[in-house]
Amino acid sequence: MQVPINPYGKAKKMAEDIILDFSKKSDMAVMILRYFNVIGSDPEGRLGEAPRPELREHGRISGRSVKEFVKACKKATGVEVKVEYLSRRPGDYAEVYSDPSKINEELNWTAQYINLQESLSIAWRWQKAHPNGYGS
């Protein structure tokens, strides 16, 4: 049983519970994805279809610190971002990561880009080329 440790986590858990309750009382299949720091876009803008009604968490096994992420963003964009580092707040996670092995086993899928720096650089180039999203 999952026990959220902060209001954000509680709100996410509540939304997931509502979705699962709805699925049980209707004919609609649902899938809840907890994706981790998604970077990039699907070139065709595709959406997944025929979900299985279960919760999935897919990501990398090793985590990244906020400092590592900020440094990678600065390098990828060439933009110097002013950052103010504050103390961790009550309820903030020390680290968050997930295990992508299940999605690889079930769907034979592996992320195309797993290097943080490369992923951010590709996402930044795409965003600059498409400032209004897929419609541009």
Instruction: Give 40: exposed, middle or buried? Use CB within 10 Å, 0-12, 13-18, 19+.
Output: middle
69 and 131 housed in the same domain: yes
Mean pLDDT in the chain?
76
d(CA 35, CA 24): 23
pTM: 0.52
Longest dimension (CA), the chain: 50
Ranking 45-49, 62-66, 67-71, 110-114 by mean pLDDT, the lowest is 45-49
Domain-embedded: residue 10: yes
d(CA 113, CA 115): 6
Domain-embedded: residue 69: yes
83 and 21 housed in the same domain: no
63 and 26 housed in the same domain: no
The pLDDT of residue 85 is 85
66 and 126 housed in the same domain: yes
Percentage of the chain with pLDDT > 90?
A: 4
66 and 132 housed in the same domain: yes
Q: Check pLDDT > 60 for residue 46.
A: no
Q: Which domain holds residue 106?
A: 57-90+97-136
Active site residues: 8
d(CA 50, CA 46): 13
Task: Return phi, psi of residue 134, to 5°.
Answer: -65, -25
110-116: average pLDDT: 80
Domain of residue 78, CATH code: 3.90.25.10
Number of domains in the chain: 2
Domain-embedded: residue 48: no
